[in-house]
Chains A and B, each alone.
Chain A
C-alpha cells in the first residue's frame, strides 16, 4: 500500500518534535451491500474507503491526523501536522522498520466482492422469500447482505511494519407482520454474521434466517404489552449476551478505566459478580464476527479472562490505556476506519457455561419474564446504568413459559445485576452486533448461555 522507505520517513517527521511514539495506520476497504425490499432487489452499492491516520504520543498526550492524500507530499504534510501540534522541541530520529507477518487464523474461502453479484442476490433472496412465504400476515420483508474486505497496514516507531486482511460477511432480514384488519403491525429480525466469506452460508441456511425473522414478527403480533415492574428474568443465549456487553463489558475498557470514569476502577481481584459468572473476551476464535488476527494497533488479539468465578481478573487495554494504567496491552485496540483514533474495544465477549440445567432455570421462576431474544442497548460506564430492549419475550408462570409479551426493556445497574445473575445455564451461543463508541462502529460478538437474573426492572406498561 505504502512503501516501507516512505513510512520510515513519515514516522521520522511525526517524531521530529519530541514524540516518544508514532504510528501510521493505512487502510483500503471495500464495502459491498445489496438490499432487498418489497419482494425485489432494491439497491446494490459498493464503497471504497482509503486513507491514512497518523498519531504520536508524548507520555499520555496524543495527536492524531488523517488524510486521504496518499502521495508522499500528502503523507509528509499529515505527519508534519501531527508533529507541530504535539511538541515544540527538535528531535532527529531515524526509524528502521522490519516487516513482520502474523499468522492468519481466519482463512477465507470465498471473498464476497470477487463473486458475481447474482451469487449474492440469490442468497439474499432465498432468505427473504423464506420470511415472506412463512405466513400470509407477513406483509413486508427487508434484507441486506453486506460484506467488508479490509486491508490494513500498521507501522510504528518501535520498528513494526505489518499488514493484515480481514473479510467479514453479514446478512440481516427483518419482517413486518400485519394483523388481518390492518390495525396492528409488528416486526422481527435476524442478522447473523461471521469473520468469513460466503462460506458462512455452508454453516447457516439462508432460509432459517428468514424464518426466524418472520416467526418473531408473528409472535409479537399475537402478544400483548409487557407489564411493568421489577421481576425475575431469564435471558436466553446468543444476543442475550448484550446484557454483559452493556452492564459490564464497556466498564472494563481502558477507555473509561484509564480515565477514572468507570464503576470498575480499582476492583481487580475483587468479587464483582456472582460466583457462577465467568466472562471472557476472545478475539482469536476462528471465523467469529469479532475476531481479527491483529488489532488496529498491530498487536495480536488474545483470549482475556475478564471475570473468573465472579472475581475481576482483567481489563481490556489498548496502547494509550496501557500508558495511562501502567498495564500490558491486551489486543483490544480497535477502530472503525482510519478516520478514528483507536481505543480499547471488545472483540467476542461472552459469559461461559455455568453449573445450572436450562430446564431448572425456567422451572425456578414462579412469576417473571423469559427474554428469548434481545435488541441492542447502551450504558453509562461511570454509573453502570444500562438499558436494553427485549425483541421477543414471554411471561413465565409457575415454572412454565406462557403467553408472549411485546415492547419490554430492561434497565439496571451493572454492579448490581452482575451479583444478581444467580443461575447460569449450559447452552452458550453467540450473536453478532455492531458496537458504537469513540473509535466508531466495530463488529463484536456477544454471548452467553441461558441465565437467570433474580430481580431487574422491566419497562413496559
Chain B
C-alpha cells in the first residue's frame, strides 16, 4: 500500500467516526547488510519495513496507535484504537495538531543511494581479508559487516500540512579479535560510508586498538586526573541528555530544571543541537509534530541558554518550541554535541601529568542515573605517566556526578568525535580533561 492509499483510508475513517484533528506519520524503508566470518561472507540480510503512526485529538486529549499491518479494516481499527486510547488520558496538558511553520530549511545531506548487494558483500569481504592481513595475532571470531539503509518519512495532518523527508547511509564496522601470549582481546571500529577513507583505515585501526589492550594491568583505587576520549564523553552526554528535556524538567526529573540563564558548566563548555549538521547523513527539517527544526546553542560558555521543547511543553511554559518533539510525546535532540576546545590530545595528556586516559565505558544503562546525574561505570584505558600515554589498564570504574563534572571540565581537545546516528539523534564530544575523578580499581 502506498502512503497516499493509506492516507485516503485514514481520512475517510476519521470522517466516518467524527474525528476532526489528527496526524498520520508513515515511514517506509529498506536495509541490507553483509557479514563475514573466517574470511567468508557468512550472512546476508535484507529487509523492507513500513509503519504507520496515527494520533488524534478526542475531547482535548491525544490518543496514539501504530501498525505495520496494511489492510483497510486494520487501518480503520487503528483510528478507533487511537480514539479509545485518548479517552483514558487524565492530564491537563494542552495538546495540538500543528498547523505548520512559516518556512522549512533544506537538509544538506546528499540524496541517499541504494548500494547493490554485491558491493556490500565485496566491502565486507575486503575488510575481513585486510583485517587478517594486519597482524598474525588476528584470529577467527574477527568479523566485518557492511550495511546500508534508506528511509522515507511522510507526515500529513488534518490542517493539510504535508511534509516528507528521505534519509539513508551506508557504513561498515570491524570487530577484530586478537590473541597474543594466551590473552584474547577485541576491539570495535565503525566508519560511515563504505567508500570513505575512514572505511579503508578500519582494519588497521581495529587491530591496533585490540593489540593495544593486551597485557593490561590493574590500578589502585583513588583520585586521578582523567582524560576522557571524545567517543566515551559523548556516551556520557547521551546517557544524561534527557536532563535537557523541558518535559523532564517540568516533571522534576531533571537536575537542570529552572536553570535556564544560569551557569551549569565550565566557561569553556558550549553545547549545540543541530538537525542539519554538515556531513551528518541523517538530517531532518521537521520534527515529529511537523515543526521546522533549526540549529540552537543549548549551553553557551557554561550558561544554559535553553532547554529542548516540543509544542506541549512550550505552551505550558510560555516559550517557543525548539522543534525537538518526538513521537509519543517525547523530546530528543539531533546532533547534540560539546564544541571543540583548543588543545591537542597530547597537550591534554601533558596537562593531566599523571592520570588515566579512558578509552572505553560500558554499562551506562545500569551504571548511570539520568535523574540524579550519578554514574559509576566499567571502563578501560591507559595510564598517563609524566604527561604521556603509557600502558593499558583494565577492570576499573570511573564514578562521579555528570552535572558536577560539567562544571569541572578543565580543558577540551580540538576535535569533536561524532557517533553513529540512532534515528535522527547523534552525540558528539571532543576529548575532555577532568581533574580528581574517583576511580575504583584493585
Chain A residues within CB distance 8 Å of chain B: 28, 34, 37-38, 40-51, 60-69, 78, 81, 85-86, 117-118, 121, 139-140, 142, 176, 178, 184-187, 225-226, 228-230, 259-261, 263, 339, 341, 375-378, 380, 382-383, 385-389, 406-409, 411-413, 457-461
Contacts and interface: CB of A to CB of B under 8 A. Distances in A.
Given A34-B88, A40-B91, A68-B68, A63 B44 contact: yes
A279 B264 CA distance: 48
A140 B91 contact: no
A376 B303 CA distance: 34
Contact of A382 (B78, B141, B374): B141
Interface in B35-83: 37, 40-51, 62-70, 74, 78, 81
Contacts of B221: 228-230
B353 interface: no
A140 B372 CA distance: 13
B268 interface: no
Query: 3 closest Cβ contacts across the A-B interface?
Result: A459-B397, A461-B438, A387-B378
B88 A409 contact: no
B141 A68 contact: no
B440 A459 contact: yes
B362 A45 contact: no
Given A41-B90, A68-B68, A387-B366, A61 B40 contact: yes
A363 B81 CA distance: 56
B68 A117 contact: no
Nearest to A67: B48
A444 to B, nearest CB: 15
B378 A228 contact: no
B204 interface: no
B366 A407 contact: no
B299 interface: no
Contacts of A65: 45-47
Interface string B352-386: 00000000001101110101101111100000000
A64 B43 contact: yes
Given A176-B371, A228-B439, A383-B184, A68 B65 contact: no
B397 A228 contact: yes
Given A40-B91, A85-B46, A387-B363, A461 B376 contact: yes
A389 B45 CA distance: 35
Contacts of A140: 251-253
Given A228-B440, A411-B397, A51 B68 contact: yes
A41 B89 contact: yes
A407 B438 CA distance: 12
B400 interface: yes
B5 to A, nearest CB: 13
SS of A interface (majority): strand
Nearest to A53: B47
B96 to A, nearest CB: 16
B374 A407 contact: yes
Given A40-B90, A229-B441, 8 more contacts: A44-B84, A48-B69, A64-B45, A66-B46, A66-B48, A140-B251, A387-B363, A457-B397
Contact of B399 (A118, A261, A459): A459
Nearest to A62: B43
Among B362, B372, B378, B396, max chain A CB count under 10 A is at B378
A47 B396 CA distance: 42
Given A382-B184, A388-B363, A44 B91 contact: no
A246 to B, nearest CB: 9
A457 B442 contact: yes
Contacts of A385: 378, 394-395
Contact of B395 (A28, A375, A457): A457
Nearest to B184: A382
A270 to B, nearest CB: 17
A412 B328 CA distance: 38
19 contacts: A44-B86, A45-B64, A46-B65, A47-B65, A62-B44, A64-B44, A68-B50, A140-B253, A226-B376, A229-B221, A259-B37, A259-B140, A261-B177, A377-B366, A378-B363, A378-B365, A380-B362, A408-B376, A412-B395
Contacts of A259: 37, 140-141, 143
A68 B378 contact: no
Contact of A260 (B50, B87, B140, B367): B140
A64 B32 CA distance: 10
Contacts of A47: 65-67
Contacts of B81: 46
Contacts of A261: 141, 177, 186
A409 B44 contact: no
Nearest to A436: B365
Interface in B243-259: 251-253, 255
Contacts of B74: 48
Nearest to A64: B45
A461 B400 CA distance: 7
Contact of A69 (B48, B78, B140, B369): B48
Nearest to B92: A40
Given A43-B89, A44-B63, A48-B68, A461 B399 contact: yes
Given A42-B91, A48-B69, A61-B40, A411 B378 contact: yes
Interface string B190-229: 0000000000000000000000000000000100000000
Interface string B389-401: 0000011111110
A60 B35 CA distance: 12
A196 B263 CA distance: 50
A79 B4 CA distance: 27
A460 B440 contact: yes
Contacts of A225: 399
Interface in B144-203: 177, 184-186
A407 B69 contact: no
Nearest to B63: A44
B441 A457 contact: yes
B156 to A, nearest CB: 19
B329 interface: yes
Contact of A460 (B67, B371, B372, B399): B399
A388 B363 CA distance: 7
Contacts of A49: 68
B185 A383 contact: yes
Given A63-B43, A69-B48, A387-B377, A48 B140 contact: no
Among A139, A226, A261, A460, max chain B CB count under 10 A is at A261
A48 B366 contact: no
Given A41-B88, A459-B377, A460-B376, A387 B399 contact: no
Contact of A411 (B329, B369, B395): B395
B395 A380 contact: no
A216 to B, nearest CB: 12
B186 A50 contact: no
A457 B376 contact: no
B88 to A, nearest CB: 5
Contact of B367 (A34, A117, A459): A459
A38 to B, nearest CB: 6
Contact of A380 (B84, B186, B397, B442): B186
Contacts of A46: 64-66, 81, 85
